[in-house]
Amino acid sequence: MIDIIVLGAAAGGGFPQWNSNAAGCRRARSGDPDALPRTQASLAISGDGMHWFVVNASPDLRAQIGQTPSLHPRDGLRSTPIAGVILTGGEVDTVTGLLTLRERQPFTLLGTRPVLDLLDANPIFEALDRTIVPRHALALDAPCALALPDGTPAGLTITPFAVPGKVPLYAETGPDPAAIVENGETVGLAITDGTRHVFFIPGCARMTDALRARLRGADIVFFDGTLWTDDEMLRAGLGQKTGQRMGHMSVSGPDGTISALSDLEIGHKILIHINNSNPVLLADSPERASANAAGWDVAFDGMRITA
């Protein structure tokens, strides 16, 4: 069994974004049922429905835990069913929530070496005492059997793999800071219980033949849904960057996500990490209808799926 809870479905900034007065964000603030608010992207996964691993520690993690009863303390004065945190990148919206978990509660922190190096370079993350929260480096394409803090097998195996992406904004340097790389800075995560196969890819700059082959026949795929079109933020007057400049492929179009995954016989396809500018967030939009017609669901906070 793979039990999955979507803790947050939005891209960085959430929906509504705190400083956005765009139409979609206004609808979300007003309580419009077709514009449900969403916090920043994160999952919780479990092999037994009792012990959980958080995938990406978003800045909204404290609120996400509060609104998710499965993650509430159950034993003694202080406890948690969170056994570990798995990082798929070093962006602000994937690591900042770690500081929420600094109250000397044992869990394991897992990430690729480039991601852990970014944490190591910032002393603020030493608030997570390494004697209590050990850091475990994940090797690309090497399966890692998850374990509970007492060493008991958690029933799930994860495999990180490189996907095309870019370095975090705060780490951009050199003559081409926005270069698309596939070196472990941005990773996808394969999750299996030995029978079922789930993939979590919240950031991806372009599709490759190798990635298509990896995803073929998967039971569930959560995939980068940041922007509907590459120039979406430019046309809306909300920013100066295209999706490609930010390291994200678009959902629509001949080179987009819907087209790229259309023939891969995936059981359940779900868009996640959705920017507040993306009209697919609006349940009554033509873009939502188009995505649904193509066999895609749009993730929402609290969405729960068992594979």
CATH number at residue 85: 3.60.15.10
d(CA 55, CA 62): 14
Residues of the chain with pLDDT under 50: none
CB-based burial label for 134 (10 Å; 0-12, 13-18, 19+): middle
Tokens of 54: 């958080």
Output the pLDDT for position 205: 87
Output the pLDDT for position 277: 93
Output the pLDDT for position 198: 98
Q: pTM, whole model, 2 decimals?
A: 0.93
Residue 203: CB atoms within 10 Å? 27
Give the chain's end-to-end CA distance (angstroms, integer).
6
CB-based burial label for 74 (10 Å; 0-12, 13-18, 19+): exposed
Tokens of 253: 């179009």
- Cα torsion 140, 45, 51, 145 to 10°: value is -20
Output the pLDDT for position 186: 82
Can you give the residue range of the structural domain that contains 177? 3-306
**The total number of structural domains that make up the chain:** 1
- Residue 65: DSSP 8-state: H
Q: How many residues does the chain have?
A: 307
Output the pLDDT for position 229: 84
Output the pLDDT for position 206: 87
Output the pLDDT for position 15: 98
Output the pLDDT for position 55: 98
Alpha helices in 183-238 (DSSP H): 209-215, 232-236
Helix (H, G, I), strand (E, B) or coil at 190: strand
Q: Residue-wise over 95-131: b if at least 16 C-beta within 10 A, else e? A: bbbbebbeeeebbbbbbbebbbebbeeeeebeebeee
